[in-house]
Structure 1
Amino acid sequence: MKIGLIGFGKTGKSVASILLENKKFSLEWVLRQSKVLEHRSVPEFFGVESEEPGLIYSSATTSIEELLEKHPVDVIIDFSSNEGIYTYGESAALNNVKIISAISHYEENELKLLKKLSNKTTVFWSPNITLGVNYLLFAAKFLKKIAPWVDIEVNEEHFKKKQGTSGTALKIAEALDVEKENINSVRAGGIVGKHEVIFGFPYQTVRLIHESISREAFGNGVVFVAENLKDKKKGLYNFEDILTPYFAI
Structure 2
Amino acid sequence: MNAQPLRIGIAGLNGRVGRLLAEEVPAGGAVLAGGTTRDGTPVAGLDCPVHAHIADLARECDVVIDFTHASTVAAHATALAETGTAWVLGTTGLSPAQQQAVDAAARQVGVVQAANFSPGVTLVTRLARQMGAALPGSDYDAEILEMHHRQKVDAPSGTALAMGRAVADGRGIRLEDHIESGRDGHTGPRADGAIGFAALRGGQIVGEHSVIFTSGHEQIVLTHRSFDRRVYATGAVRAAKWLRGRPAGLYDMEDVLDLNAGS
TM range, smaller chain: 0.7 to 0.9
Structure 1 counterpart of 2:230: 216
Structure 2 counterpart of 1:32: 37
Report the identity percentage: 24
Structure 1 counterpart of 2:166: 175
TM-score normalised per structure 1 = 0.84
Q: What's the offset of the Cα at 1:152?
A: 1.5
- Conserved 8 A contact 2:78-2:101: no
Is 1:77–2:91 an aligned residue pair? no
Is 1:14–2:20 an aligned residue pair? yes
Q: After TM superposition, list the pairs within 5 Å mapping 1:90-239 onto structure 2.
A: 90-148=78-136, 149-165=139-155, 166-177=157-168, 179-181=179-181, 182-239=196-253
- Where structure 1 has 5 or more consecutive residues not aligned to the other structure, the ranges are 46-52
Whole-angstrom distance in 2 between the partners of 1:64 and 1:184: 36
Whole-angstrom distance in 2 between the partners of 1:145 and 1:33: 44
**What amino acid is aligned across from residue 164 of structure 1 in structure 2?**
D
- Where structure 2 has 5 or more consecutive residues not aligned to the other structure, the ranges are 1-5, 169-177, 182-195
**What amino acid is aligned across from residue 123 of structure 2 in structure 1?**
Y
SS in 2 for 1:207: strand
Structure 1 stretch displaced more, 134-143 or 88-97: 88-97
**Residues 1:17 and 1:205: Cα distance change in structure 2 (over 3 Å):** same
**What amino acid is aligned across from residue 152 of structure 2 in structure 1?**
K
**What amino acid is aligned across from residue 162 of structure 2 in structure 1?**
K
- Conserved 8 A contact 1:104-1:128: no
Q: What's the offset of the Cα at 1:73?
A: 1.0
**Residues 1:30 and 1:153: Cα distance change in structure 2 (over 3 Å):** same
Q: Which runs of 4+ in 1 moved over 6 A?
A: none
**What amino acid is aligned across from residue 112 of structure 2 in structure 1?**
F
Q: What's the offset of the Cα at 1:139?
A: 1.1
Q: What's the offset of the Cα at 1:113?
A: 0.5
Deviations 1:145-200, CA, capped at 9 Å, x for gaps? 22223221110101112122111111211221361422010000111111111122
Deviations 1:21-42, CA, capped at 9 Å, x for gaps? 111x111101110454x2x57x
Deviations 1:59-81, CA, capped at 9 Å, x for gaps? 1xxx3333444xx2110111111
- Conserved 8 A contact 2:55-2:83: no
TM-score normalised per structure 2 = 0.79
**What amino acid is aligned across from residue 231 of structure 2 in structure 1?**
A
Structure 2 counterpart of 1:56: 50
Whole-angstrom distance in 2 between the partners of 1:220 and 1:133: 13
- Conserved 8 A contact 1:125-1:237: yes
Whole-angstrom distance in 2 between the partners of 1:34 and 1:94: 22
Q: What's the offset of the Cα at 1:205?
A: 2.2
Structure 2 counterpart of 1:49: none
SS in 2 for 1:73: coil
- How much is the aligned-residue C-alpha RMSD, in angstroms? 2.2
SS in 2 for 1:197: strand
Q: How many residues align?
A: 231
SS in 2 for 1:84: helix
Q: What's the offset of the Cα at 1:54?
A: 2.9
**Residues 1:32 and 1:202: Cα distance change in structure 2 (over 3 Å):** same
Whole-angstrom distance in 1 between the partners of 2:162 and 2:25: 27
SS in 1 for 2:205: coil
